[in-house]
Structure formats: C-alpha cells, structure tokens
Structure 1
Amino acid sequence: MTTDPRAALNALVAALERHLEAAAGRRGENDPVVVGAYRAVAEAFEEYDDALLDAFDEVTPLEVYRGDEDDDDEFDEPDDVEGGGSYTGMDDEDYDDLDDTEPARST
C-alpha cells in the first residue's frame, strides 16, 4: 500500500484513465480488459482513501460498491459482467420521484 496520499492519488488517476481507455475499446459484455481496469480502479481508490486516513485522519465521501454482503468476491463487476452490480448514483427513493409518463431519453 502507498502511504503517500499524493502518490496514491496519482495511481488512482492513472487507473481511472486506463479504465476510460478500456471502456472506450470494450469488446463485448465480459471484456476482461474492462473487468481488470474496473478492479484496478477499486483497488487504487481504496489505497488512496487509506493513505488519506493514515496521513491526515481524513477520508473521501465515496466507497467501493460491493453488491451483496454475502458475496465472496473481493470486488463486484458492473451489471453487464458476471456476478456484479453497479451503482447508478440514485437511491431507491430517487426512482420513485421519476415521472413514469416521461419518455426515456437516449444519449
């Protein structure tokens, strides 16, 4: 584990950049390059958060989504990858506020 928060932050940014590249070049639902990049982001984030805690007694407001607590996998993959889930940024109650009559927007 990196104890220097700056070095851990740089590693996290690099992992995010590799994930973006992997996602942009994705080849199918279970692309192992994307899955590996996903796991690397999760690991780098946790190292950064731990380094912040060790150095400054501070943490980020984020956490790695792990899906079901009963799952034995170290990290879960997104919904389109076997065995995992993903966080949409909305809580269950946020979905209740959506207007069912409004057509879905395509992006």
Structure 2
Amino acid sequence: MAIDPRAALDRFIAALEAHYAAVTSRRTDDDPQVDDAYDVLADAFEVYDEALLHEHGESTPFFLEDEDLGDDEGDEDDDDLEDDEDDYDLDDHLDEDED
C-alpha cells in the first residue's frame, strides 16, 4: 500500500519538531529521548522520501548514512563528504539571507 506523500511530509515535519524539542531539553549528553527522537526522525524521513519517489518520481537531495557499514566500507565516500564539508560554510549562507 502506497503512503500519501502529504501525510508522510506532515509526519516528517512533526518528527523534526519533536527532535528539536528533545535536543533543546536534553538533560544529559546521552539523553535517551534525543536518541529516540533521532530514530523517529530518520524513519519519518525515509518514509517521506520513498512516498515522494513512488508518487511523483522525485526524491529529496538528502541521504542517511548507514550506521551498519563496516570499517572498510564507505571510507572513500566519507573522504568526499569531509572535502564537501570544508567547502560549505553555513554561516556564509545564513548571512546572505539576512541581507
């Protein structure tokens, strides 16, 4: 059964808000509420992305890292990500929006 992308988007947005609330009210460095909110957010994102692809043939520009990758797998991709992160400065983009 196909999931309605709009319903999946609503769930994804709610998961983003719940994750933010968990992070801002964190009681300890390893607060289980933050971990739980992370898992719910990741799941909601995947459902939304799949629903969007199934219904409209489109996907988001984001991806989730597979935490189950072995030490040897994905190392090349990790190096590419680190290079990309060096090139992208969020503060530069935030300043542009303020102008």
Query: Would you call these one fold, judging by a TM-score over 0.5?
Result: yes
CA displacement 1:18-46 (0-9 Å, x = unmatched): 00000010011110000000000000000
The residue type equivalent to 1:36 in the other structure is D
Equivalent pairs: percent with the same residue?
47
- Give the TM-score, by structure 2 length: 0.69
Unaligned segments of structure 1, at least 5 residues = 72-89, 98-107
- For residue 93 of structure 1, what is the aligned residue in structure 2? 83
Structure 1 runs (4+) greater than 4 angstroms displaced: 94-97
Question: How many residues are aligned here?
Answer: 80
Q: Deviations over 1:44-91 (max 9, x none)?
A: 0000000001101111110112345138xxxxxxxxxxxxxxxxxx93
Q: What is the rounded CA distance, in whole Å, between the counterparts of 1:58 and 1:95 in structure 2?
A: 25
Unmatched tracts of structure 2, length 5 or more:
72-79, 88-99
Map of 1:1-107 to 2, 5 A cutoff? 3-67=3-67, 69-70=69-70, 91-94=81-84
CA contact (8 A) 2:2 2:54 kept: no
Distance 1:95 1:55 in 2: 32
When normalised by structure 1's length, the TM-score is 0.64
Q: Does the CA contact (< 8 Å) of 1:2 and 1:47 recur in 2? A: no
Q: Which structure has more RCO (C-alpha within 8 Å, separation ≥ 6)? A: 2
Q: CA RMSD in A?
A: 2.6
Distance 1:96 1:8, change over 3 A: closer
